[in-house]
């Protein structure tokens, strides 16, 4: 054990370089994880944070809410289902609004709801929607950066209907666009797709189940879990799969680098190990010294990487979404540590094979 630490102190530059490489790999893994989580949250926070476990959409929509439209009256049959505790209609569309004062345009995601249901957003400033005031809207607070404030009037791009901002809500994004909550009848009247519909249409029905699962008897609708609802959001799955694949490869690459480094070091020190064995040193003691080096480098790399990662939210620009939980940091740290230990097994095998006489003579098994 102390043999390994003494060697690290003696060959400081060599071990500082390999520690630096491991820090960069670990740090890049954590940064990518934070960006993956940040992008996921920026893409779907309006859905992931609303506490709705199930959604019913049109059966012919092929699992896509953007293709789903069905009669609002289907809500009654869903509420009567024995597996449903409560349900509320939801309308969703991507549209453009322009500010009345200067005609500046904003790309937004409409979430049409019936005020007074469990889909009501939590208000951070102002007030919520009211059934008796259909021309009022609640918007995501990210629009404040665009100069939007309470009392501003936004107009839709279909009928130029005036919509007054009465409230702000926090962290409500959908498909990377700020969400605007609007009364269902108003949304139905200004949505271009629904403009000529005679019967009121909705995109989905949010469901609170009585138990853990929902199984609707309504043959016109299919049920999506929250995870399935998230996956159908444009770009959501592709972003997550790409970044997660990069993270996994980085961890594996880090393991290979550490394995190669210590294996080459073991080969270079075969003669020294042979002399130690000839003097009566056990293979287990030599192996313990190498394990100590691996553990020391891994722990230092993890501590530095985690420390830098925790500081990143304070220096990254707001346009770069970055979110990482303590659980994720802990998980990646453990995985990184385990991969490093597994990689050291090759060096352990080589140390065990070293023959004292052959090593002193200069042979190499």
Q: What is the pLDDT of residue 4?
A: 60
Q: What is the pLDDT of residues 186-240, one digit of tens each?
A: 999 888 777 666 778 899 999 999 887 888 888 889 999 999 999 888 888 888 8
Do 98 and 200 lie in one domain? The reply is yes
- Sorted by sequence, the CB contacts under 8 Å of residue 105 that are 6+ apart come out as 96, 97, 98, 157
Q: What is the pLDDT of residues 139-169, one digit of tens each?
A: 999 999 888 999 999 998 777 889 999 999 9
Do 259 and 342 lie in one domain? The reply is yes
Question: 190, 219, 248: which is the final residue of a domain?
Answer: 219
Task: Give the three-state DSSP class for 82.
Answer: coil
Do 31 and 66 lie in one domain? The reply is no
Question: 152, 187, 219: which is the final residue of a domain?
Answer: 219
Is 275 within 8 Å of 236 (Cβ atoms)? Answer: no
Q: What is the pLDDT of residue 364?
A: 46
Cα separation, 229 vs 344, in Å, equals: 43
Residue found under tokens 């130029």: 160
Do 200 and 289 lie in one domain? The reply is no
Q: What is the pTM of this model?
A: 0.80
Do 212 and 243 lie in one domain? The reply is no
DSSP run (H or E) holding 37: helix 12-48
Which residues are 84's β-sheet partners?
209
Tell whether 50 is covered by a domain. Answer: no
Tell whether 233 is covered by a domain. Answer: no
Question: 186, 219, 252: which is the final residue of a domain?
Answer: 219
Do 186 and 116 lie in one domain? The reply is yes
Q: Which domain holds residue 244?
A: 1-44+238-361
Do 72 and 210 lie in one domain? The reply is yes
User: How many domains are there within the chain?
Assistant: 2
């Amino acid at each position: 054990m102390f043999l390994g630490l003494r060697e690290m102190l003696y060959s400081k530059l060599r071990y500082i370089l390999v520690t630096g490489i491991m820090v960069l790999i670990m740090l890049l893994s954590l940064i990518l994880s934070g960006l993956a989580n940040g992008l996921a949250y920026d893409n779907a926070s309006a859905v992931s944070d609303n506490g709705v476990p199930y959604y019913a959409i049109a059966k012919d929509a092929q699992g896509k809410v953007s293709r789903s439209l069905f009669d609002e009256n289907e809500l009654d049959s869903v509420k009567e289902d024995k597996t449903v505790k409560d349900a509320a209609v939801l309308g969703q569309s991507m549209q453009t609004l322009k500010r009345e004062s200067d005609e500046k345009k904003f790309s937004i995601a409409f979430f049409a709801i019936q005020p007074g249901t469990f889909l009501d957003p939590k208000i951070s400033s102002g007030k919520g929607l009211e059934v008796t005031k259909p021309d009022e809207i609640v918007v995501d607070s990210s629009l404040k950066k665009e100069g939007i404030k309470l009392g501003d009037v936004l107009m839709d791009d279909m009928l130029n209907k005036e919509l007054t901002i009465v409230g702000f809500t926090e962290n409500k994004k959908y498909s990377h666009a700020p969400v605007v909550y609007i009364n269902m009848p108003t949304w139905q009247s200004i949505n271009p797709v629904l403009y000529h519909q005679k019967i009121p249409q909705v995109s989905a029905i949010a469901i609170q189940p009585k138990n853990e699962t929902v199984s609707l008897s309504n043959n016109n609708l299919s049920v999506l879990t929250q995870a399935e609802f998230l996956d159908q959001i444009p770009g959501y799955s592709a972003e997550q799969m790409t970044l997660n694949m990069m993270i996994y490869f980085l961890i594996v690459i880090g393991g290979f680098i550490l394995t190669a480094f210590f294996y080459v070091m073991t080969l270079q020190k075969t003669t020294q190990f042979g002399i130690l064995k000839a003097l009566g040193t056990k293979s287990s003691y030599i192996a313990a010294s190498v394990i100590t080096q691996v553990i020391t480098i891994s722990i230092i790399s993890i501590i530095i990487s985690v420390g830098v990662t925790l500081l990143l939210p304070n220096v990254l620009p707001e346009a770069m979404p970055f979110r990482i939980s303590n659980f994720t940091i802990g998980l990646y740290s453990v995985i990184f540590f385990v991969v490093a230990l597994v990689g050291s097994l090759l060096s352990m095998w080589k140390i065990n094979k070293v023959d004292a006489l052959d090593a002193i003579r200069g042979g190499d098994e």
